[in-house]
Chains A and B, each alone.
Chain A
């Protein structure tokens, strides 16, 4: 049982916006102040998309945004594009330990 719960799949049509949720289910994560999101295409290494809940690394499209409310963090992809089809993992950090969610498969219809 993962300490972070994500939906198994989310889908949307090109141009639409989708949101992936990530809910903290374990007290091991503490205050849930550190949340990041990774994109992974098949056969590729994960790529950092969001860190510290809502910050984008240099080079990541501004179509990707992150937020958090209480025990649920969210990744929103606006203006969905075919290249966004991938697996997305949320991650959190607490007391030296990194936690990953089970991942969400995003399908572009």
Chain B
């Protein structure tokens, strides 16, 4: 059974860098049928797409976050990671990692449980 698990600091100070890792079990991040992505949700608000990465390292980022986001992948550890720099209070959110079909691009079929990251000084 596929599982995704987010990990990383729950508190980040502005304007430092938020760093999260998603560990995948039950599938390989080298699986050519899937992209691996990050989505966030501020407390009490809706979902916001951050970006995706393919096993090759090819990435797509949200235009509104592109200047601050880097998503990377490590096929040796079966993990992918998110870095968001110059964080502010508005970046406080639950961050989810998820798997997206490469052939059906609106299909995020497996999600992690999410991890709350609070940006505060």
Contacts and interface: CB of A to CB of B under 8 A. Distances in A.
Interface string A56-96: 01000000000000000000000000000000010111001
A44 to B, nearest CB: 8
B63 interface: yes
A36 B107 contact: yes
Given A45-B114, A96-B60, A51 B47 contact: no
Contacts of B47: 38, 46, 89, 91, 100, 103
Contacts of B111: 45-47
A45 B112 contact: yes
Contacts of A102: 46
B106 A45 contact: no
B104 A52 contact: yes
B46 A103 contact: yes
Nearest to B107: A51
B106 A92 contact: yes
Contacts of A20: none
Interface of A: 2, 34-36, 38, 45-48, 51-52, 57, 89, 91-93, 96-103
18 contacts: A2-B46, A34-B105, A36-B106, A36-B108, A45-B111, A45-B112, A46-B47, A48-B109, A52-B106, A89-B47, A93-B106, A96-B52, A97-B60, A97-B63, A98-B105, A98-B108, A100-B39, A100-B48
Given A34-B105, A91-B106, 11 more contacts: A35-B106, A45-B96, A51-B106, A52-B107, A89-B46, A93-B105, A97-B60, A97-B63, A98-B100, A98-B108, A103-B47
